[in-house]
Each structure stands twice: as structure tokens, then as C-alpha cells.
Structure 1
Amino acid sequence: MADVKEEKIIKTYCRFCHATCPMEISVKDNKVTGLRPDTDNEVFGGYTCLKGRQMPEQLYHPSRIQASLRKNDDGSRTEISTSQALDEIAEKLAEIREKYGPRSIGSYNGTVSFQNSATHPVAKAWHTALESPSYYTSITIDQPAKVGIGQARMGFWLGGNHTWRDSDVALIIGNNTLVSHFSIPGGIPSFSPSNALREGKKRGLKIISVDPRRSEVAARSDIHLQIKPGQDAVLLAGLVHIILNENLHDEEFCAENIENLDALKHSIRKFTPDYVAERTDLAEEDILAAARMFAAGPRGSATTGTGPEMGPYPNLVQHLTQTLNAICGRHYRAGEKLPNPGVLSPPMPRLAQAVPPQPEWLTGIRSRVSDDIGEVTVLTANGPLKEMPTAICADEILMEGEGQIKALICVGGNPLLAWPGQEKAFKALKNLELLVCIDYKMSATAELADYVIGSKLCLERDDLTVLTDIWYEQPYSHYAKTVVEAEGDVIEEWALFWELGKRLGLQLEVGGQPLDMEKLPSKYSILEKMTAGSRVPLKEIYEKDGGHVFDVPEVVILPPDPASKGMLDLFPEGLEEELENAARDADSSFAAKGEYQFLLISRRMKNTFNSTGPELSFLAKKGTTNPAYIHPDDLDALDIKDGEIVAIKSERGEIPAVAQGSPDIKRGVVSMAHCWGPAPDGCGDDKVREIGANTNRLINNLDKPEKYSGMAQQSAVAVQVRKLTSA
């Protein structure tokens, strides 16, 4: 009689999004038989979301890509071994490099690629060895100012900003962590956010929410500023104006650590409470109350989300957000304990001083589109990392001449749906000589690819909480071991770069250490190089069963070092012009009575993570489209009922959408999730109820590109709405 294997329970964490929620997986005969929250975890307390709980279906979905596919001349696909696909891809890449040079080979590393803890260091190592700067990620689609440009212009505080657990007040600008599960330190933690919000409120933390929608976070705030979309910079300038004019700022901190305070104060003199109230469509008394509440603190932080970051003037919005934290002294001081200096980074002294602006972060390789746009340095878990801005990737593919991108490797992303300016993105992707996608499903972009490589999913691989290491509010880390062995001919995303590197004769280095280019390294060895010298050795984290808060020496903030102390610059080059432009646009918008009476804003949805989720049965029951959420009074005025198909039109394009009344939306606003819909070839618009619509078709990526990042305005887009059909 054959032995019957017993069911095992394995602790792991979810990688559907960035939140790393711990789970326990039941496994028998190399099959997942069940999934439940890890209630033993002291940080998450058993929290998971409905998306992560669908991982078993994702793992065994009938449409999952289990072998590599090659597109034939007639458009059909042939299943081939992954080894053969890699051989053919490498041969084509070698030809392209020889003919056009290394810059002609690019990669786009999408949102899902961040869930694989080794992908970005190995991808960047591949680009370095190849001598190609054409490395793109999803970071520069929605938050380059937040993760790099803001610090480069102003500088940053070496001792760190106040975290949620130490805060008395939080100013949350366009971030809805209860749905998005994404927030950097200072906002509501991504890890069991409902519990974090409940605990914060219980201990008296005051919350100010800025959002055109009464979101889940806004509904639980002490003050909700239901702002007119696109006027975040105006509001923030007004809050700074009030705090400085009423002398509510931390004068001692400013005197010791800030320069150009008077220049900033002079530049924002126009942003008086009455002026700001008119331009933002807010009550003057609410603006004053919010400014005074935030300034009163005494501890707290202001943070932004993708809403304002995808709107107008994201560089200015981020600078003014950092300014609020700076003038109110929202930083850890000498003698205070830093809650979490990071488990996976080497020990380093944390001083109560400013690191001055980093202008070199803004002067890397230039794009071929504009000298004002080029490499962006982003602060990652592995230190500052340079990447080209994704907003202009389509132009780099279409613009002829030296350096034109001819080959693109797409990793864990869906650029046809995600890149701003969908018409141009579609044309660009079809213009490539070689498009390779590694994914677990046939995405809209994979449908265009010459080769599609099947990827391992998170339960089929090791991973480490590298991305989120400093986001936790305790010294927490989790090494997740492989739960089940992959059964198809699939590989990890980072292994794709290693395999191509081997075939192209490249030597890759991670953490300054060379990789073995003869035999595929283990994931553990990659992670070991990435975390060399970490405060807690990787071996110790590996040996823990599940996530763990480590008993590490306290990090106490040290006094400043006079020899290296810098100053935070509140008035960097270009700021005055940005303030003037924001005011001019606000004045124009205030007076406008034109054809486009609505403003389209972005949003997140509970049942999807960008374009991932609608293919799973339980999540599909929650909805298979991205409705156009509109205030019921606006729908009544337009004689539109819930469920009817409407046309959303901008100056750049038009899309269909399913109308949905939503009283939490400000009047004059349309709220839609991005990364939905078909290709812009007219073949999928009739399926809007099943696959949604793509809001990127309503914009051109080069309309008012943001300096440094070229970032396109993807929210607060002027549109008109009209009925197309009845329900």
C-alpha cells in the first residue's frame, strides 16, 4: 500500500501586492489545499485582504501560462521550451545590440516585479553589464517625486520622519490605505491598516484627509478637506502660508536646519486663506482648522498618495508636503529612539541632521525627448538607484535615431494598460523589433509579444521582505520559503535576466559581488548578496518560522556632526516658477466655464490590483469593470441612470464607461480606476462591462511633462460626460 503523505502547514506571506500579509498554507502532495491568515503574527494580527486569499485559484487557474510561447508570422503561437525561447531571445538581442548599440535594449519592470525580492537588483545588474541605461519601472509612472526628486531638491533628515505609531496628527493627501494597502512611513501603515487606524484614533491621533472623495480614510478623519481635483499644490501652499504667518512653525528647528525660509514665505504670499478657499472649493474655516491642527502636533507627518502624485505639479506637491514636515519639525531628534532603522540594511549612525540637496540625482543620462527629462534617482531598499522615466518610454521607442529602443523586456507589468497615452503606447509596442513578456497570464501587452515566458508565482519561490523593510514600525522581517514546487516550464523574473546575461556573455554583480554565471544561483544566494552586512544576518531570518520582530540593539538618534551637517532647502531652483504656474492654472480653472465640466480622477478598487484580479472568479463577482463613479445629482442632471453606458471625452480622446452613482464623490468629478480596458484599436470597447475602459486613452504623455521625470498628468483631467446607451 502506497504511503499517504500528510498535509503540511507552511507559514508564508502574500505577494499579491506590497503589504506582505502573513498566511498559513495547507499543502498535500505538492498541492495547495487551503489558505488562512497567520493569527500568530504579532505585527499583522491575522490580517489579510480578499485579493490575497485568492492565491490558490491564481496558482491553478486554467489560463495560467505554463510554458513559453513564440509568436509565428501568422499571429498564432507555438509552445516551446523556455530554454529554447531564451536561446532565441538572446540571439535576437545580440543582433540588435550589434546593429543599434546597447541603449536600444530596454526593460520595463512593472508593479508585480516589486513583489519578487530579487528582480530589480538583478535586472539593474543586467543593464549595467549590458551598458544600457534603458531601465524602466512602474515607480516613475506615479511617484518619482515622492521617492527621489523631492529629496534631491530639498534634502532629507538623516534621523527619519515621525512614524504613525509616534504621531499625534497625520495629514493624508490623496491616499486611501484601507483600499490601496500602500503607504510609506508616516501614513496609515499598510500592515493591517484598519487596525492601525483604529489604534491611532483610540490613543487620540488626529487625522486630516485631503481627497475629492469621501474615501474610507476620509470618512474616519477628524477633518476631511473635499478638495477640487488638481488643486493640491494650492492647498498645501496655503497651509504653509497659515502656519508661517501665525508663527505656528518650529522656529528653533527651522533656525538650525532650514535655509531659504523667508524666500519661500515671500513666494507663497498670494496663497491666503480666502484665495485658497476659492480655488480649492473648500471652506476657509476648514483650511484654517486643518493648518492649526497639523501645526499643533506636536508629532506627526504629512504624506501623499497616488492621487495628487498623478495630478498637476507632482514635484511641487511633494516639495510642499516635505516643507510642512520640515517647518513643523516632524523629525526624530537627538536622544530619541528610531522605531525601525531596518533589519536588512547594515548598521549606520543615525544623526539628528539634514542631508543637503542631492543635485547630482537630477543630472544623469538625458532622454532623447528633452534635456529637462532624464534618469531619475529613486531611493530603494538597496540604496539610490537610477532609472529612466517610464512616461517617455513610448517616445524612446518611436523616435528614430541613435539610442532608439528596438527591444523591450516586460517583467510583471502591463504597459499597454499602464503607460500614459495609450494610443502612443500601443503604437510603440507594435513598433519594436522584439517584445518579450514574462507573466503568469496573457495580459493585453503579452498579446502583442513575440515571446511570452511563464513566470513562477509567489508560493513557488523564496522571497524576503526587502521592499518593505523600513516601512514596518518595528524591526520586523520575514523570509518566505517555497511552499510548492512549480509544475510547469516556468522561471522567476530575476532568472530571466540571469539566463539572458549568461547567453550574452555578461558578468552580473549584485551588492558589489559577482554572480556565478555558469550555474544558476540560488535565490538565497542572491538575497544574501543583497543584504550583506545587515543588522540581522539573513541566516537568522531564514531559520525563523514565519515573520518575526527581532531583538536588535536600539538605535538612538545621535547629535549632529558639525563637519557633515547640511540644511534643508525650502526654495530650490524652479520653485517660484512652479508656484506661479500652479496659481495661474488655479485662477484659470476657477474662472473657466468651458466645454469640459468634469474632472476625472484616479482611484483604487478593493477587488483588483491594477490589472490583476478580474480573471479570478471570486474577485470577478465583485465587478469586472471600472465604473465611472459620479455624484447622483450630476447623473440626474445628465438624465443618466446607474448601469448605463456613457462616453467620457477629453481633448485627447474618448472612452466608454459604465455609469455608477456615488454620493461620496464631489460634484463635478468622475472617479475611475486605471489599468483597465482593451487595446485602443476599437475592437474591445463593446466589452466595457466585462473588461472596463482605459483612462490613459484620454491623455497625451507629453502634455505638460513634469521636469526631471517627464511625468504625465493622469488625474484631474478635464472631461465631458454624455449618455451612450440605456442600461
Structure 2
Amino acid sequence: MATTTKPGICRICSAHCGVIATVTDGKLTKVTGDPDNPMFQGYSCAKGRALPEIHNNPHRLLRSRKRAPDGSYADIEAERAMDEIAAKLQELIATHGPRSVAMYLGTNGLPYPASALMGNAFMRGIESPMFFTANTIDQPGKQIALAAHGHWLGGDVNFHEADSWLLVGTNPLVSKAIGIPGQNPGQGLRTAIARGMKLIVIDPRRSQTAAKAAIHLQPRPGQDVAILAGMINLVITEGLFDDRFITEHVAGFDELARAVAPFTPAYVAARADLIQQEFVDAARLFATHGDRPGMVNAGTGANFARHGSLLEYLCLCLTTICGRWQRAGEPVTRPNAMMPAYTAKAQAHPPYEGWGYGEQLRVRGLTDAVCGMPTAALADEILLEGEGQVKALICIGGNPMAAWPDQRKTLRALESLELLVTLDTEMSLTSRLADYVIAPMMQMETPAMTMGSELIKYYTSGTGIPAPYAQYTERVLEPPPDSDLTEEWLFFLGLAKRMGLELWFVNFFGGGGGRFMESPPIVLPMNAATELTTEELFAQMCSTSRIPFDEVRRHPHGRIYDVHEVVEERDADCTARLDVGNAGLLAELDEVLEEDASEVLDPDFPFRMISRRHNNYMNSSGTNLAALHRGKPYNPVYMHPDAMAELGLQSGELVTVRSPHDFIPSVVEADDSLRPDVVAMHHAFGGLPSEDGEVRERGSNIGRLIPTDIEYDRITGLPRQSNIPVAVTAGVRD
């Protein structure tokens, strides 16, 4: 029996943990944290340690599949599938135009940095603007807010040095995404608290992160905008803002003060069902504690509950009026390593056009934006007949039937397509509807690098690697014997060759970041004669990196490099300012004031459903694996025990969860971390609507409860996906 161990990078989430992979007789058998990795120091999470089960999943596709007219599937060689798909795409484009072809990139595209870029290059090659991503059904307001507010070119305060931090609707001890750095967040928070940091968490649930907070505000769901506006108002009225920073670097302060004036402590406490003094204490603690106070970050839960763009803007406004950015002479928190070097300066990059440009969708007045095309409108673009109708969809690393809102509409849309292609490791809900399912290699079968974990800082504050760290690892193992697998970026290159396209692979950094990066993007011509390996492509993507690619390759366990950058002084001629008075976004505060906070008392829908992260899953991935679900492959509806007792419910009982839009079956489970008027569920579970009888085997799809065209962000199209009014009743509705 031949056994080897190799360093690798887990790419299930954006943390990109360094791991040690054990391969026995060509099969991945164990993954653990890498004790020789200087950034992670042996840390790994349950998802990463389950990589052997994910790779060896008995449901894994080892060959691509084609759907027959009778709905059955048969294996097809990848090259032949490319021939047929390319021919069908050419036919559709000739008949209906390039806009008839759309692409969707899901979060499982994260492990393969070339895939999204080549998919985007393919769409530009056919001249279709219809490129959609999971970003616009999660937290698109982050990029909208940055465009309206501007960027601070000195960068973020370092969490590991801050004396306070405010988190809104996020649980980074589980998600490893926002606020607490994802590189071993549990240890990072313990160390911070031990040195005196005061963490403030706003969350309707006492999450793992909230349980560690100095102050946990547990409001009614959906009140985060009101709470942040109230905190800003208190900071202003009590003079707790940084007057010097505002005078030198900020515009719109007076407009902000007027807009938040109605959000007094008494009003906010009554509206959000908080103890007024606790709210005041939280705001004062954030504004005044320690010599090095920290920042504000919001997560998926808060963004889902309406007004996500305004929410993120208020997070930036509170951060800015308190002066919570790195200043001249202070260390740069996130200096690049595998990306180009940049000069951090104590000055603003001014606001820029963030929405209302580019492609105009045919529904709800939505357009392209810095966050991308509005994914919640894509089902409508498929179903709406007429010029511009989407006829073909290609999905990379995504599962729309599990992840998109309004599942029944999504089902109608996908079934109506003339061509649906998925690149998928198994027959997911979406792949079960596809005409072609292309079987790709999995993450340990491809080379890996941490560039993606660096560039995420350009999308929002509070993310990215807080050190000049880099890692590159070779392929850990070969694909299974007798398999016919392709790398996703090579699939798109294969289509391009067959369609006679000249592709330009742009190593873009997106999210507005490219607007102020000093190094230009890398453009690689990809014509029909181009033959590159992934390793060679990575080398070219890193050709302008601060740390040469060959140097990074010399340290397969990763390395923290000797880069000691400090924030430079503001340019003498710089007049740019951060804007905290954006009229368009602040006008939404009037809508917030007009919204009926008493709706939580609606007797027909007495509960509010919030979203919840699961420690063992990354969205819909792995829900069928015993190593991850541990005997519970479904997503319960969590309820407070008192609420269950009032309804006469017992844990494990089947129930129906009903919203004004639709209903789903579920299994109820007691959870005293919730408010009694709140229930919680994990997203991206469940089967097709016809499979509701398998709720204990599959779980329930929350997306079915959510309409896309009633309550939505007017810029991003993101519908209300949390704070959903629901009723819970015993038994399963037919």
C-alpha cells in the first residue's frame, strides 16, 4: 500500500486553509490542518477535514452526461459534448442573438480561479452581457456601498490589534467570512478578548459569535438599518465622532446627521424591541473603548433582510465618522503577495458610478452594477418572451434550484430553456434538469494558490488575509482511473476553439478595486492555437505579483513574507473625500421609517424566519455525505422551546412552514438561542417541489418561500430572504 502526504490548500471557502493531504494508492484518504503552515498553524474545520469524503463521494460523476428525450441520462465523452454544445450555442446566437446565452457562477467555482475568469472571457467572446454570479443573491450591497462611499486607500484596521469591533448579522466563527479573520477565527477571537477587545454583536440569535460578545443586542429581525442609524445618531449627538478625520477626509456629514436624526435611542429601542440602555451602552462602547477602536461589518443575515445596500452604506458611514481606518505611518493590514504591490495612502478614493449603467434588464428596472448582474431576475429573463429572452444557461459551480429565490419559478425557467449546461461533480437538483452535465476535476486534482483569498479585500472591508502571506501547491492526486474529467477553464477554451472565438482572459480584480489599483490588469490572448496547462496559466496570472511566482512555489507549506509596508501620507494635491451623505441611499431611511414595525404581530404570520449558517456545509455541497450530516441530512426549522410549547410541538415532529408566498415541509427542532418570535433555517437544502415527501432525507428549500418581485433592493434586485413572515403548523400540508 503506497501512502504519501502532501501540503494542499482547502478551497471550500475563501479562507483557503493550508492542509496536509494523505493519499493512499491514488485515493485521498485524510485531510488535516498543516502544522507547518505559518498562517494556519494546524487549523482546519469540519468541512476541510471531510474533503476525502467529498472527493470519494459515491455519487460523484466521473464522466460527463447527456440527457435523452425521455429524460434519462447516458455518458458522453467530454470532447463530443463540447462539439454538440458549441453547435447548439452557435445556432441559438444566430437565431436569437448573443443575449440569449447566459452564464451563472456559483460559490463552488471558488476553488478554481481560472474557471470564472475564462467563463467571463467566453461570454465577452460571444458578446453576451448576461454573466451572473452568486454575489447578487448574497451580499451585493457591499460593492454598492463602496461605490457610493468611496474607498480608503490606507486600508482596514487590523482586527488583531483593535480594541473593539461591531458585527451585524454575521457569525464568522462558522462562516469564516466577515470581520474576524477566517484564518482560525476561534483562536483569533479568544486572543483578542484575552487582550481586552470588546466585541459587540447585533443578531436575533445567540450565535457562536454572539455568545462571545461583551454586548449582544438581540433585536427583532429586520431592524439592523434602524439600529445602525440610531448608533450613528448617538455618536453624532454625543460628539463621539472623529472631528479631525471628518474635516480632512469626509463629505456629507451634515446630510448624514439630518437623515439619522429621527432614529433616537428611545425610537430604536422600541422599534427593535431592545432595552434602551443596552443599545446606548453598545454604541458608546464601540465609539470610545480603548486606544485603537475597530470597525463595523455586516454579514449575509443582515443583508438578506431588505435594504442591504443601505445597511452596508451605514456600516461604512459609522466606521468613517469614527475614523476607523489605518492612518499614515501605521502598518498596512493586507499587503499583497500573489497580487501586484500597491502603495497604501492615507487618503480617499472618491465615490464612483456603481449602478444604473450597462445592460438594462427587461424586468423591475434593474441594470448591471459593480456587484454584477441581478441574479434574482434571471429566472424572469428566461421566462419573459420577446426580444432578448434567455434561451441557454451555463452554470459553473452553482446549483440554482437550491440557491435561487422562488424555487417554483426557477423550476419553470430552467425547464423552459432550449439548452441547460452544468459543470457539476454530481447530479445536483439543477443538473437533474440539464441537457449536458460536464464532469470536472475536483480541488485536490488541480493546482491551488491563495490569490483569490487576497483579492477579496477589494470587494468589501473586513475580509482577506491580514498578512503578506502566499501559498501555491501542486496537484495532490490524479483523477480516478477510467474517468473522463476536464478542468472547467479548459471546457470554455474548448468551446471557444470550436466556435472560432478570440478570447481575452482578463485577470480582473472586480468589485471596484480595479478602479484604483496601480498595476493594470493582465490580459492573455487565448486564440485557437493556445495550449496552456493550468500551472502555466497560474504563472502568467501571477506575472506582476509582489512576490515572484517561483518564490511562492518554493514554499509549499505557505509563507508569511518579510513585507513591512506602512501607510503613506496623503498626496499634497489630493482633494478626494469619502462620502457619508449619498442622497439616493439615505433617502431609503424615509422608507424605513414608514415601514410598519408592528407587522411582527400579524396573527397570520406570527414568526420571522432568519437565515443561519451551518458549520458542516458550504451552501448545498455535501448534504448527502454522512461524514458531514452525521445522521441529519435535513435543515430543521429551529424554534424557541417556549414557542414550540405554545403550539404543542415536539422536537423531531413534521411541520409546515408557510409564508405569504408559498409553503414548505420541515422538521421542527428546539433552540433556545433564538428569540421566541423568531425561527431559523439553513438555506440551500431540499429537493424539487415534487419531492416534499422526502423532507427527512433532503430537507426543505427556503427559496420557495421567497418571491423575487415584491420586496427587493431597487439596485441589486436582492429580494427579502430573511426576516420572512411565516406561520408554523403541525403536520405536512398536501
- TM-score, normalised via structure 1 length: 0.95
Q: Which of residues 482, 491, 497 is equivalent to 2:475? A: 482
How has the CA–CA distance of structure 1 residues 643 and 574 changed in structure 2, closer, same or farther, with 3 Å as cutoff?
same
Deviation at 1:281, TM superposition (A): 0.8
Alignment match, 1:368: 362
Matched, 1:536 2:547: yes
Alignment match, 2:685: 676
Q: Deviations over 1:341-389 (max 9, x none)?
A: 2112222221111111112554222212133x211214xxxxxxxx312
The SS at the match of 1:604 is coil
The code of the aligned residue for 2:567 comes to: I
Matched, 1:165 2:157: no
- 2:232 and 2:318 in contact (8 A); partners too: yes
The code of the aligned residue for 1:419 comes to: W
- 1:416 and 1:422 in contact (8 A); partners too: yes
Q: Which of residues 667, 675, 696 is equivalent to 1:689? A: 696
- 2:379 and 2:410 in contact (8 A); partners too: yes
How has the CA–CA distance of structure 1 residues 564 and 130 changed in structure 2, closer, same or farther, with 3 Å as cutoff?
farther
Q: Deviations over 1:563-590 (max 9, x none)?
A: 3441111121323430011111154537
Partner Cα distance (1:621, 1:702) in 2: 37
Q: Which of residues 446, 453, 456 is equivalent to 1:461? A: 446
Q: Deviations over 1:314-355 (max 9, x none)?
A: 011001100110000010111111032211222222111111
Matched, 1:312 2:319: no
- 2:306 and 2:712 in contact (8 A); partners too: no
- 2:424 and 2:437 in contact (8 A); partners too: yes
Q: Tell me how large the CA RMSD over aligned residues is.
A: 1.6
Matched, 1:182 2:177: yes
Q: Deviations over 1:283-324 (max 9, x none)?
A: 101110111111114420100110011111101100110011
The code of the aligned residue for 2:731 comes to: L
Alignment match, 1:547: 558
Alignment match, 1:584: 594
Alignment match, 1:596: 605
Q: Which of residues 474, 496, 515 is equivalent to 2:526? A: 515
The code of the aligned residue for 1:311 comes to: A
Alignment match, 2:375: 390
- 2:203 and 2:216 in contact (8 A); partners too: yes
- 1:135 and 1:388 in contact (8 A); partners too: yes
The code of the aligned residue for 2:5 comes to: I
Greater CA drift, 52-61 or 313-322? 52-61
Alignment match, 2:318: 324
Partner Cα distance (1:725, 1:79) in 2: 38
Partner Cα distance (1:484, 1:95) in 2: 39
Partner Cα distance (1:28, 1:423) in 2: 44
Greater CA drift, 250-259 or 571-580? 571-580
The code of the aligned residue for 1:301 comes to: M
Q: Which of residues 197, 201, 218 is equivalent to 2:189? A: 197
The SS at the match of 1:178 is helix
Gaps of 5+ in 2: 458-463, 506-521
Q: Which of residues 663, 666, 673 is equivalent to 1:664? A: 673
Alignment match, 2:370: 377
Matched, 1:714 2:716: no
Partner Cα distance (1:258, 1:309) in 2: 25
- 2:155 and 2:333 in contact (8 A); partners too: no
Matched, 1:503 2:498: yes
Partner Cα distance (1:23, 1:370) in 2: 45
Greater CA drift, 351-360 or 661-670? 351-360
Partner Cα distance (1:40, 1:718) in 2: 49
The code of the aligned residue for 2:426 comes to: K
The SS at the match of 2:453 is coil
How has the CA–CA distance of structure 1 residues 316 and 586 changed in structure 2, closer, same or farther, with 3 Å as cutoff?
farther
- 1:152 and 1:362 in contact (8 A); partners too: no
Q: Deviations over 1:27-77 (max 9, x none)?
A: 244222433221111211211111211111222222110111110001111
Q: Deviations over 1:233-253 (max 9, x none)?
A: 000000000000000000100
Partner Cα distance (2:442, 2:363) in 1: 36
The SS at the match of 2:30 is strand
Greater CA drift, 16-25 or 662-671? 16-25
Alignment match, 1:208: 200
Greater CA drift, 712-721 or 156-165? 156-165
Deviation at 1:18, TM superposition (A): 2.2
Alignment match, 2:242: 250
Deviation at 1:111, TM superposition (A): 0.7
After TM superposition, the structure 1 = structure 2 runs for residues 9-20 of structure 1, keeping only pairs within 5 Å, are: 9-20=5-16
Alignment match, 1:384: none
Q: Which of residues 73, 85, 89 is equivalent to 1:89? A: 85
Identity of aligned residues (%): 38
Alignment match, 1:614: 623
The SS at the match of 2:37 is coil
The code of the aligned residue for 2:584 comes to: G
The SS at the match of 1:45 is coil
Deviation at 1:432, TM superposition (A): 0.6
Q: Which of residues 519, 526, 529 is equivalent to 2:537? A: 526
Deviation at 1:516, TM superposition (A): 4.9
Greater CA drift, 441-450 or 575-584? 575-584
- TM-score, normalised via structure 2 length: 0.94
Alignment match, 1:401: 386
Alignment match, 2:508: none
Q: Which of residues 678, 696, 709 is equivalent to 1:702? A: 709
Alignment match, 1:646: 655
Partner Cα distance (2:31, 2:707) in 1: 43
Greater CA drift, 102-111 or 561-570? 561-570
The SS at the match of 1:656 is strand
The SS at the match of 1:369 is coil
Alignment match, 1:445: 430
